[in-house]
Each structure stands twice: as C-alpha cells, then as structure tokens.
Amino acid sequence: MLSQILERNLANSNHRIMELIQQILFVLLLTTAIWLFSMQITRIRKNIALGQPEDFSGNTAQRWKNVFLLALGQKKMFAKPLVAFMHLIIYVGFIVINIEVAEIVTDGVLGTHRIFQGFLGSLYVFLINCFEWLAIGVVLVCVVFLARRNQLKLKRLNQTELLGWPKTDANLILIIEIVLMSLFLTMNAVDTLLQQNGVQPYATHLTGNFAISGLMQPLFSGMNANTLIIVERITWWLHIAGILAFLNYLPFSKHLHIILAFPNAYYARLEPLGSMTNMPEIQQEVLYAMQPELAPTEALPVTKKFGAKDIMDLSWKNLADAYSCTECGRCTESCPANITGKKLSPRKIMMDTRDRMEVVGLNIQKNGSFVDDGKSLLHDFITPEELRACTTCNACVDACPVSISPMDIIIQLRRYQVMEESSAPQEWTGMFNNIENNFAPWKFSPDDRDKWIQ
C-alpha cells in the first residue's frame, strides 16, 4: 500500500516536473519569437522611413471607411467573385482560427489545458466546431490555389517577375497554411480521444467530438493512452511553433500584406485617380512664363532634384506600398502596356522597389549610414523602357486590392529621367520644346492659339 502511494506521488512529481519544463520552454519560445518579430518590424519601419515625408492627415472618416471596405471587407477583391470568395475563406480562417492561439498561449504559459472551455461551456464547443469548418475550408482552398499556380499555370500567377523565390514563397505560404490547419485538426482528434479514455488533464473538461476532427479519430483509435499523449503533445507544439515561425516568416514574404494592408488602406491617396502630384516649382515656372509680370525680382531657391532616382527620393508612402504588395498581379493583368506586349509590369515595379529597399537597408545596417554602392532604383532595378511604356491610365491603381499606386513611382522615376538626365524619346522632346516655346504641344505661335475657333 505504501509503495503504491510512493509510486503515485513519484509519478505525480515527475508529471509536474515535465509540465514545468514545458512551461519554461514555451515561455522561452514565445519570448524569442516575439523579440525576433519586433526586430524585423523595426527593420521594415526604418526602411520605410528612408522615404521623403508626405502628409496624410485629415479626412479621418474616409480613411477609416477605406480600412473597413478595402482591408477588412476586401471590396476590390470581389471584381472576381469566385476567387474573392475563396480568398475570403482563407482570410477569415486565418484571422478567426488563430483566436484559438490565445488559448494555446495561455495554456502554454500557465500549464493548463483548454482553459477557455471551463468558463465558455457549450459556446466553446460551438466556436471550436466553427474553427474546424473554417480549417477544412482553408485546406481545400489552398489546394485549389496551389493547382491554379502550378497545374493550370494561370498567366497572371506565372509571369517572368515571379520566377524563382517569389513563386516559391507563394507556394510555401499555401503549404504552411495546409500544414497548420492539419495540425490543428489532428490535435483536436487526439485530444477528444484522450478525453474519452479518461486521461488527465484531458478529461478535466469534456468537449465531446468536434465536427471535422471527430471524423479523423479512427486513424488514432488503435493507439494506447501514452502514444496518444505523445501525438497530442507533438501536434500541439508543432502547431504553436509553426504559427510563431510563420509570424517571423512574414517580414520576408509577400504575405506581409496581411499586416500592412490595414495601415496602407488608411493612408491611401484620396485624390481622384486622374489627379497627379505636380511640383510647385515647375508650376511657378510655367506661370511666370505666361505672366512674366508675376515673376519675383529676387533669385528663386534652387530645387535640388526633380523626380526620383532612388528609394530615398520617393515618399514613405511609396515605400510602404512596396512592402504591402501582395504580388497578386491584378495591376499587371489590367495594364494596357503589358497586355500589348510592352516590358512594363506594375507588379514588377513594386517588387523592384522593395528589393532595392532591402539592399539599401542592409547597406545602412552594415555601415551605419548609406554608402554609395554605385546602383540606384532607376536603371539598375527599373529600366527606362519599362517607365516609358506607362500610359498613366491608372488601371493598375484602380485594380489593386490594397490601394497601392505603382504609377506614382513610375511618374517620379520618369520625371527624373526627363528633367535631370534630359533623357526622353525623340517624339517627347519635340513636344517638350513646343510647350516651352509655344505653351502648347503644337508648332503654332502663342498668338495663334485661338485660331482653331474660326
């Protein structure tokens, strides 16, 4: 009798030690993951801050409306309803299912098991069932999206700029989501089996079988309690470790848009799409040319640079756009220049801007401040041929689901070409000369401007 009591106490003591070790390991894992993620977010914030200041204050109501319609409601995605619905399943699944991460984190830190079930009761079972339906939906949609990319090879998802890492990144994201959802369902299937076998602490809160994982139970029904515990612990750890690893993968992936889409929608440009940002200095020069009497007698301040050559010349919003790009290709698909075989791809413009930002950021991180590397966004990453193909039609801006403006970057780089490098096609040069001399694109004297009326 005494030996049995001692054995039981020893077993309980060993169990508590194992729980304590798991708690310590979990806290270390969680702390490390959060620290690493915060470091990467800080890095990205510093890279975005390399851009020029731009004021987006005011119109708060409209900006929050954009957040709810574009980021939360995914309004622009529904230009293609079927694809939008499938994306919505992944989006809702990713957001809602990860609510259960709160319980996993709490259990991991406190050493408890399904702590929320104790006070949510039947509502808890309902929520987990909803999560499971969403999980199987995410798995199925991810399989469809993988097929669209790799089997059907849709043109929009298999263009030149996606070769190499971008394509691997897109596939990897879908595979990771399938794995995470599968681990979640497996964990629930084994957990409910342990409940039915009366194994503690699983039997403390009885949930009954869940909608989807209940169908998976026959796969594990032949295992003994110890094996089931091992499987449950492995899936539990892999599930939460996978989520934390995915969190730290986001800053290096196009999937970063699930975070940046919200601020990007808030700071979207509210001007009409046909409105372009002009340089006050140029507008003044035109005004003084047409009305010399308004020109000041004192010397005007010299503008250091017209347009943009590198990322430091762009605004912080342009750089935030680059990090927010989902690489979905809707901009390129709607671009008339790209459709007609020109080199321009608005998606590539955003990807190249992000790539250049990463290079500059590493340069600064290594040297303390930027050391000229002999390269620039214009020429080394984006070619003049791409820029000249743009018709400034705004189709790319209108198509983007997260309010990105590739055209704004194109205009600024092209402005630098023309005004700083005096580089423009011959057809443009003739027009520029006519505007400078005649205040119109045609070779007519300014005095004859109104003759067309006759």
The reported pLDDT for the residue numbered 47 is: 95
- Model confidence pLDDT, tens digit, residues 287-305: 777 777 777 767 666 666 8
**210 and 328, same structural domain?**
no
Angle 93-94-100 (CA atoms, 0-180°, nearest 5)?
90
The reported pLDDT for the residue numbered 192 is: 87
The reported pLDDT for the residue numbered 82 is: 87
Phi and psi for 274 in degrees, rounded to 5? -75, -10
Nearest to 77 by CA among 319, 403, 409, 338: 403
Structure-block tokens of residue 104: 């996993």
The reported pLDDT for the residue numbered 327 is: 92
Nearest to 415 by CA among 427, 426, 403, 423: 423
**345 and 376, same structural domain?**
yes
The reported pLDDT for the residue numbered 353 is: 96
- The total of structural domains in the chain comes to 2
Q: Has residue 69 been placed in a domain?
A: no
pLDDT higher for 276 or 315?
315
Nearest to 247 by CA among 180, 178, 151: 180
* pTM (two decimals): 0.85
pLDDT higher for 91 or 174?
174
Whether 381 and 391 have beta carbons less than 8 Å apart is answered as no
Whether 132 and 211 have beta carbons less than 8 Å apart is answered as yes
Q: How confident is the model at residue 381 (pLDDT cuts 50, 70, 90)?
A: very high
> How many other C-beta atoms are found inside a 10 Å radius of the C-beta of residue 405?
21
**293 and 217, same structural domain?**
no
Q: Is 412 exposed, middle or buried (0-12, 13-18, 19+ CB in 10 A)?
A: buried
Whether 342 and 383 have beta carbons less than 8 Å apart is answered as no
- Domain boundary among the residues 243, 266, 289 is at 266
- Sequence-ordered alpha helix ranges (H) in 211-294: 213-216, 225-249, 257-266, 280-290
Q: Has residue 139 been placed in a domain?
A: yes
The reported pLDDT for the residue numbered 297 is: 67
**360 and 256, same structural domain?**
no
- Model confidence pLDDT, tens digit, residues 216-239: 988 888 888 888 888 988 999 999
In the predicted structure, residue 284 carries a pLDDT above the cut 80? no
- Cα separation, 304 vs 296, in Å, equals 20
**284 and 251, same structural domain?**
no
Average pLDDT, the chain: 86
Handedness of CA 144, 145, 148, 149 (dihedral sign): negative
Q: Has residue 145 been placed in a domain?
A: yes
In the predicted structure, residue 204 carries a pLDDT above the cut 80? no
**373 and 305, same structural domain?**
yes
In CATH, what number is assigned to the domain containing residue 391?
1.10.1060
Percent of the chain predicted with pLDDT > 90: 44
Tell me the average pLDDT across 183-188: 91
pLDDT higher for 314 or 205?
314
- Cα separation, 203 vs 193, in Å, equals 10
- Model confidence pLDDT, tens digit, residues 394-438: 999 999 988 899 999 999 999 999 888 888 888 888 888 888 787
**125 and 21, same structural domain?**
yes
CA contacts within 13 A on the Cβ side of 118: 10
- Cα separation, 261 vs 403, in Å, equals 8
The reported pLDDT for the residue numbered 11 is: 47
The reported pLDDT for the residue numbered 62 is: 92
Q: How confident is the model at residue 89 (pLDDT cuts 50, 70, 90)?
A: confident
Q: Has residue 242 been placed in a domain?
A: yes
- Model confidence pLDDT, tens digit, residues 10-65: 545 555 677 788 888 989 999 999 999 999 999 999 999 999 998 888 889 999 99
User: By mean pLDDT, which of 82-86, 320-324, 352-356, 396-400 is the weakest?
Assistant: 82-86
Tell me the average pLDDT across 257-272: 88
**For residue 409, what are the contacts with CB-CB under 8 A and spacing of at least 6?**
308, 314, 318, 321, 349, 350, 353
Q: How confident is the model at residue 122 (pLDDT cuts 50, 70, 90)?
A: confident
Host domain of residue 319: 280-441
The reported pLDDT for the residue numbered 358 is: 95
Tokens 């702590």 locate to 115
**For residue 262, what are the contacts with CB-CB under 8 A and spacing of at least 6?**
67, 71, 72
Q: Has residue 7 been placed in a domain?
A: no
The reported pLDDT for the residue numbered 94 is: 74
The reported pLDDT for the residue numbered 424 is: 85
Whether 308 and 413 have beta carbons less than 8 Å apart is answered as yes
- Domain boundary among the residues 234, 266, 298 is at 266
The reported pLDDT for the residue numbered 301 is: 66
Which helix (DSSP H) or strand (DSSP E) does residue 420 occupy? none
Structure-block tokens of residue 205: 């809160």
Q: Has residue 430 been placed in a domain?
A: yes
Largest Cα–Cα distance of the chain, in whole Å?
Answer: 119
Q: How confident is the model at residue 359 (pLDDT cuts 50, 70, 90)?
A: very high
**287 and 246, same structural domain?**
no
Phi and psi for 302 in degrees, rounded to 5? -85, 130
The reported pLDDT for the residue numbered 13 is: 58
Q: Has residue 1 been placed in a domain?
A: no
Whether 137 and 93 have beta carbons less than 8 Å apart is answered as yes
Q: By three-state DSSP, how is residue 366 classified? A: helix
**313 and 245, same structural domain?**
no
Tell me the average pLDDT across 357-361: 95
Q: Has residue 22 been placed in a domain?
A: yes
Angle 173-174-180 (CA atoms, 0-180°, nearest 5)?
90
**218 and 152, same structural domain?**
yes
Q: How confident is the model at residue 333 (pLDDT cuts 50, 70, 90)?
A: very high
Whether 261 and 71 have beta carbons less than 8 Å apart is answered as yes
**212 and 123, same structural domain?**
yes
**348 and 237, same structural domain?**
no
pLDDT higher for 395 or 115?
395
- Domain boundary among the residues 240, 266, 292 is at 266
